[in-house]
Amino acid sequence: MHKVAVVSYGTSKFSKESKLSLFELACQPCIEILKKNKITKHKIDAVLFSTCSPEQYGSNIICEMLDIHPRISHRIESLCNSGTNAIVSAYSYISSGLCDSVLVVGAEKASTPANRLIWDISRGSFTYPVCWAALFARAHMRKYGTTEEQMAMISVMNHISAEKNPNALFKHKITLTDVMHSRKIVEPIKLLDCSYTCDGSSAVLLLSEHKAKEATDNPVWIKGIGQHTVGASFNKVTHDDLTTNRATRIAAQMAYNMSDFSPHDIDIVELHDAFTILQILAYEDLGFTEKGEGGKFNHQNEIAINPRGGILGCGHPLGATGLAQTAEVAAQLSEKAGKRQIKGCKTGLVHNLAAAGTSATVIILGV
Amino acid sequence: MHKVAVVSYGTSKFSKESKLSLFELACQPCIEILKKNKITKHKIDAVLFSTCSPEQYGSNIICEMLDIHPRISHRIESLCNSGTNAIVSAYSYISSGLCDSVLVVGAEKASTPANRLIWDISRGSFTYPVCWAALFARAHMRKYGTTEEQMAMISVMNHISAEKNPNALFKHKITLTDVMHSRKIVEPIKLLDCSYTCDGSSAVLLLSEHKAKEATDNPVWIKGIGQHTVGASFNKVTHDDLTTNRATRIAAQMAYNMSDFSPHDIDIVELHDAFTILQILAYEDLGFTEKGEGGKFNHQNEIAINPRGGILGCGHPLGATGLAQTAEVAAQLSEKAGKRQIKGCKTGLVHNLAAAGTSATVIILGV
């Protein structure tokens, strides 16, 4: 099993309505990566395109626009964790020895058809994920006394972090009162408890060990990978317990086992805060705090959480999110996060959910 | 690099209008595979779904319908070679050691939006691949004296083979006269020179070496893989030579190198005959005959060609085609091809094109 490094990354500005097409958006961070690393078109072995857009053969189109001619090229979709699915795929291409270099790019337009869950008719007319986030929130409040203020605080914190991120959709501070008084969407979830589907793109270049050492003095290595899929319906997600995300717990355990790290070793995390309650569940399911204690975990100082602003602060271009999360953790670990740099972080974790919790990816990175 | 085996496979009936939904179609061959191999739901590490359908999170849906809970699950699309892209991805998951078992399933409905190439505006209003096949045909006729009868003969041969395939869309013999007198689509290509986009599905189970040896006495191994992507536009496909498919030539060379086989070692091939001219180009680009001799290669007896009936005889459910090709070669090599069995074949090749030749996959299998 060959080692795999994240060597370069780029993220576009996330916006409500970019003037760029899906493919122009996708190319933007790739151009940055190719220029920065002086990579010629012959040196990319695979291009994987993560998106929920129905556009056909998008990966080929991106190759043409970038004038690169890889061996492998296809589109990957698994709703909101398409991005980390593509990264794990890239990892396996390199780790197996089939490829030395894989460019993974994710892009989405706010008009994506992927923000509703229409297949599972047991959801009735409640096809928007917010309906299901509300059930998680209610259950956690009931069982553990988690409060609306604790959830609201997560939005406040992630918006504060996003202020330092020039690419974030939301760059203004918000107060606890703003969140608490924002429009109710589905009781107890308010507008500012929700992330915003937007336009955006992000790309990551993965290299094999020998190529990474040629390219950079401080590669960031993929140390652990965990993934789990429970199915497609809400019934499968919950397993009679609405206060936990089973896919995350299983994926996290797998990633910790593979990496030989434990939750205590994690210095920095980008976790899937599409709704504030999901951040509380993630604290617990990733093992950072005891079950039921998530609401109080906001005030710890051990782990840097969502330093780029998370999904709440940055916006949620679905197919790009997992890549933007990975790009942030890699930037932090290689001390290239600029104004947002967290000092001395050595080990980071990416947590990316899909489809109201039906699948989860956990990736552990380290220097 | 761990060895990877194709251990089981299944293919649905290909039809013009199946009563099954995309997902019901997709599950059909999977159920067959799971039953045949007595595989429990815990033993599938990844499910990869190959389709050009715009349906979201189809892989999760298939997992739910089959009641399997894999780690990795996503949809892969690269137009007509989505299927072999998914197989190569599965190969790398196993070869890297991330997975022991990957179920790859492809399915398509005839109503797929993927049978036109609308991104490349240099194609003008000629968005159907047949327009481009006509250019290849004209060029080959002009340069090498290939005749319309030689092309027509390919359709006749593949329809004869399809007669022995209970899943093929076309199960009736056709004559040279039938093809020659069929409706002109784009000069010199006639209706019976073209394949037919249809409903269908196919699935393949890949296992790691130790799992394969537990599961079967005669695994078929993936011995060589080659892929190449030139871009997305017609201009990139041709490189000023309309008589060859560059992506195929590069992919084939890569697969031969990896496997240490040469064209002379191949006993059986499923090649991408979406149009009759493509079979002639493939003969040459895969190295079975000299450049320009493809038209005369029909009458050789060394290699069994498209024994299931090829795309012309079977129909072309885009996302399923690469899987159905691989399933056929694996069945032949493990002597389970029933009435179609070619005696004594040890080494087989799958050739799968996409998007009017902008990308190609070549996979070499052996016992």
Task: Give the model confidence (pLDDT) of A240-267 as tens digits.
Answer: 789 999 999 999 999 999 999 999 999 9
Q: Taking a C-beta distance cutoff of 8 angstroms, is the pair A70, A45 a contact?
A: yes
Q: How far is the C-alpha of B37 from the C-alpha of B47, rounded, in Å?
A: 16
DSSP string, A102-129: EEEEEEE-TT-GGGS--S-GGGTT--SH
Residue B349 pLDDT > 80, yes or no?
yes
What is the C-alpha to C-alpha distance for residues B11 and B30, in angstroms, rounded to an integer?
9
Radius of gyration of chain B measured on its C-alpha atoms: 19
Asked if A69 and B354 come within 8 Å (Cβ–Cβ), the reply is no
Q: What is the DSSP letter of B289?
A: S
Q: A 163-192 residues with CB below 8 A of B?
A: none
Question: By three-state DSSP, how is residue B51 classified?
Answer: coil
Residue B88, pLDDT > 90, answer yes
> Which is nearest to B147 in space by CA: B135, B162, B137?
B137
Chain B neighbors of A251, CB-CB under 8 A: 71
Give the pLDDT score at A112.
Answer: 86
Tell me if A295 sits within 8 A of A140, measured CB to CB: yes
Q: What integer pLDDT is reported at residue A57 of this predicted model?
A: 92
- Could you tell me the pLDDT band of residue B167, with boundaries at 50, 70 and 90? very high
Residue with tokens 């309906």: A131
pLDDT classification of B236: cutoffs 50, 70, 90:
confident
Q: Give residue A299's pLDDT band: very low, low, confident or very high (50, 70, 90).
A: confident
With CB atoms and an 8 Å threshold, state whether B78 touches A77. no
pLDDT bracket for residue A114 (50, 70, 90): confident
Kindly state the helix (H) or strand (E) to which residue B270 belongs, with its residue range.
Answer: strand B268-270
Residue by residue, DSSP assigns B306-342 as -TT-HHHHH-B-HHHHHHHHHHHHHHHHTT--GGGPP
Checking if the pLDDT of B14 tops 90, the result is: yes
For position A213, what pLDDT does the model report?
92
- A133 or A236, which is more confident: A133
> What pLDDT, on the 0 to 100 scale, is given for residue B362?
98
Give the rounded percent of residues in chain A with a pLDDT score beyond 70: 100
Q: Which stretches within chain A are classed as H helix?
A: 22-36, 58-66, 82-95, 129-144, 148-162, 176-181, 209-215, 234-238, 246-259, 276-285, 310-314, 318-333
- Identify the weakest region by mean pLDDT among A128-142, A262-276, B33-47: B33-47
Considering only CB atoms, A79 lies closest to which of B57, B93, B113, namely B57
Residue of B nearest to A96 (CA): B96
Which pLDDT tens digit goes with each residue over A164-184?
A: 999 999 988 999 999 999 999
Range from A75-84, A275-284, B293-302, B313-322 carrying the lowest mean pLDDT: B293-302
pLDDT band at residue B11 under the 50/70/90 scheme: very high
CB contact under 8 A, A228 and B93: no
Residue A92: pLDDT over 80:
yes
Shortest Cα distance, chain B CAs vs residue A175, angstroms: 36
Mean pLDDT across chain A: 94
In the stretch 272-331 of chain B, residues with CB closer than 8 A to chain A read: none
Kindly list the distances between the CA atom of residue B299 and the CA atoms of B153, B154, B293, B307, in Å, as whole numbers in the listed order: 10, 10, 11, 15
Residue B266 near residue B348 (C-beta atoms within 8 A) = yes
Does this model's pTM top 0.90?
Answer: yes
- Span A53-80, average pLDDT: 95
B73, B97, B229: residue with CB nearest A63: B229
Q: Which residue has the higher pLDDT, B35 or A237?
A: B35
- Using one digit for the tens of pLDDT, what is the confidence trace for B323-333? 999 999 999 99
Q: How confident is the model at residue B356 (pLDDT cuts 50, 70, 90)?
A: confident
pLDDT band with cut points at 50, 70 and 90 for residue A5: very high
Over residues B146-169, mean pLDDT:
97
pLDDT-derived band at A47, boundaries 50, 70, 90: very high
State whether A85 and B92 contact (CB < 8 Å). no
Question: Which residues of chain B have a CB within 8 Å of the CB of A128?
Answer: none
* CB proximity B95 to A under 8 Å: yes
Distance between CA atoms of residues B114 and B236, nearest Å: 19
Q: Classify residue B118 as exposed, middle or buried by CB count within 10 Å of its CB (0-12, 13-18, 19+).
A: exposed
Structure tokens at A358: 């039906």
What CA–CA distance (Å, rounded) separates B112 from B129?
Answer: 14
A224 pLDDT band, cuts 50/70/90, is very high
Rounded distance between C-alpha atoms, residue A289 and residue A271, angstroms? 14
Nearest-Cα residue of chain A relative to residue B45: A228
What's the whole-number mean pLDDT along residues B190-204? 97
pLDDT value at residue B298? 87
Residues B108-126 have a mean pLDDT of: 80
Say which residue the tokens 């608490």 belong to: A180
Q: Which residue type is seen at B255?
A: A
The residue assigned the tokens 């090829």 is B310
Residue B139, classed as helix, strand or coil, is: helix
| Contact assignment for B359 to A227 by CB distance below 8 Å | no
**Residue B159 annotated among the catalytic residues of the structure:** no
Token pair in block for residue A228: 């789990």
B324, B314 contact by CB (below 8 A):
yes
Mutation choice for B interface testing from A41, A51, A67, A72 by most B CBs within 10 A:
A72
Residue B116 binned pLDDT confidence (cut-offs 50, 70, 90): confident
Residue A56 has pLDDT above 80, yes or no: yes
CA distance A133 to A116: 13
Name which residue leads in pLDDT, B118 or A216: A216
What confidence score (pLDDT) does residue A240 get? 78
- CA A253 – CA A265 distance, rounded (Å): 14
Q: Does A56 touch chain B (CB under 8 A)?
A: yes
Q: Is A75 in contact with B71 (Cβ distance < 8 A)?
A: no
Query: Is the pLDDT reported for residue B114 higher than 80?
Result: no
Q: What is the pLDDT of residue B233?
A: 83
A316 catalytic? Reply is: yes
Q: Report DSSP state, residue A98.
A: S
Q: Please name the residues in contact with B123: beta carbons below 8 A apart, sequence gap of 6 or more.
A: B117, B131, B132, B233, B234
Give pLDDT tens digits for A310-348.
999 999 999 999 999 999 999 999 999 999 999 999 999
Whether the predicted pLDDT of B112 surpasses 90: no
Inform me whether the pLDDT recorded for B90 exceeds 90: yes
- Give phi and psi for B135, each to the nearest 5: -65, -45
Can you tell me the distance from the alpha carbon of B252 to that of B84, in angstroms, rounded to the nearest whole number? Answer: 14
> Do residue B355 and residue A57 have CB atoms under 8 angstroms apart?
yes
Residue A244: DSSP 8-state: S
pLDDT band at B232 (very low <50, low <70, confident <90, very high): confident
Q: Which two tokens stand for residue B183?
A: 């409706």
Written as six digits, the tokens of B227 are 């892929």
Cα distances from A23 to residues A56, A105, B119, B177, B216, in angstroms, run 11, 10, 10, 46, 45
In this prediction, residue B9 carries a pLDDT of 97
Q: Which residue is catalytic, options A30, A52, A63, A80?
A: A80
User: How many CA atoms, within 13 angstroms, populate the side-chain half-sphere of residue B315?
Assistant: 28
The tokens of A240 are what?
């009679």
Would you state the structure tokens that stand for residue A38, as one six-digit string? 């002086």
Which amino acid does the sequence have at B248? T
User: What is the pLDDT at residue B307?
Assistant: 97
| Residue A27 pLDDT grade (very low, low, confident, very high; cuts 50, 70, 90) | very high
B96 touches chain A (CB under 8 A): yes
Helices H / strands E in chain B, number of each: 12, 12
Q: Do A71 and B230 touch (CB under 8 A)?
A: no
Q: Which of A82, A92, A231 is nearest residue B98 as measured by Cβ atoms?
A: A92
* Band of pLDDT at residue A356, cut at 50, 70 and 90: confident
Ordered DSSP codes for B207-218: EEHHHHHHH-SS
In percent, the amount of chain A with pLDDT more than 90 equals 84
Distance CA B189, CA A361 (A): 48
pLDDT at A119: 78
